[in-house]
Amino acid sequence: MDLPSSAPGPSWVGALLLLGPQILALWPAAAVEVHTSREEEALNGTNIRLKCTFSTFSPIGPRLTVTWNFRPEEKGSDESVFFYQGQPYLLTGRFKDRVTWDGNIHKNDASIVIWNLKPTDNGTFTCQVMNPPDVSGTIGEIRLSVVQSVRFSEIHYLAVAIGSACALMIILVIVVVVCRHYRRKRQEKSTEMVETELPEKEKLKKSLLNGTHSEGTSEEDG
């Protein structure tokens, strides 16, 4: 006797093919996200740390690379500034002997330091991190302005105002303390003078009384 055959159901392969796109859509994209400060301002002749941090889904390994480039403010092609893969590699160009590695890839830090800034360093620095298989992602940019003197921002003015107010309060407190001190000294001196004058007045009074009594006695004897 033939057994009734059950309706064919989808196999696990078919289910995987069906759910595959949905699973891939939920899986995080393999990309490196780079974060920078966007804009920096520094004084001519000083040094500056260009901060660049990153996040990656893949474990950090020896294939991770950090590439810094520079695009001058005046029209010009991009220039290589710095390269890192396992160790820093100094490149030729305008930043030769003026750039040092100041990052730590195990702390997701890819920062560098530019020494002895010059007006020709005005421009945009880019920081790119690749950590295979994470090879795509964002590129961080920092627009650097090298100035002859530091311009005061609203924060600087606020700091000056707060500092001035604090200094004024301190001066007022000192003035009040000094005035109270001198007033106390003056009161103590006045008290001492009164205490000194009272015995002298008593002595003078007694001497006058004694003198009057002596004169009365002499008249009676006469």
SS3 for the chain, per residue?
Answer: CCCCCCCCCCCHHHHHHHHHHHHHHHCCCCEEEEEECEEEEEECCCCEEECEEEECCCCCCCCCEEEEEEEECCCCCCEEEEEECCCEEECCCCCCCCEEECCEHHHCECCEEECCCCHHHCEEEEEEEEECCECEECCEEEEEEEECCCCCCHHHHHHHHHHHHHHHHHHHHHHHHHHHHHHHHHHHHHHHHHHHHHHHHHHHHHHHHHHHHHHHHHHHHC
**What pLDDT shows up at residue 185?**
80
Order of strands across the sheet that contains 88-90 = 38-43, 140-147, 123-130, 65-72, 79-84, 88-90
Q: Is 95 part of a structural domain of the chain?
A: yes
pLDDT at 75 over 50: yes
Whether 1 has a pLDDT exceeding 80, the answer reads no
Q: Are residues 143 and 58 in the same domain?
A: yes
Q: Which of 87, 95, 93, 96 is nearest to 144 (CA)?
A: 95
Quick one: pLDDT band at residue 115, thresholds 50, 70, 90? Answer: very high
Give the lowest-confidence range in 24-38, 85-99, 117-131.
Answer: 24-38
Q: Is residue 15 part of a domain?
A: no
Strands 123-130 and 140-147: antiparallel
pLDDT of 37 over the 50 cut: yes
Is 127 contained in some domain?
A: yes
| Peptide bond just before 8 cis, omega within 30 deg | no
Domain that holds residue 61: 28-149
Last residue of a domain, one of 149, 173, 193: 149
Res. 73: pLDDT tops 80: yes
- What is residue 31's predicted lDDT score, i.e. its pLDDT? 87
Question: Are 34 and 106 in a shared domain?
Answer: yes
In a domain, 222, yes or no: no
- Which domain CATH number covers 38? 2.60.40.10
Instruction: Please give the pLDDT value at position 23.
Output: 41
pLDDT for 116 beyond 70: yes
Same domain for 71 and 108: yes
Number of domains in the chain: 2
Asked if the model's pLDDT at residue 62 lies above 70, the reply is: yes
Please check whether residues 141 and 172 belong to one and the same domain: no
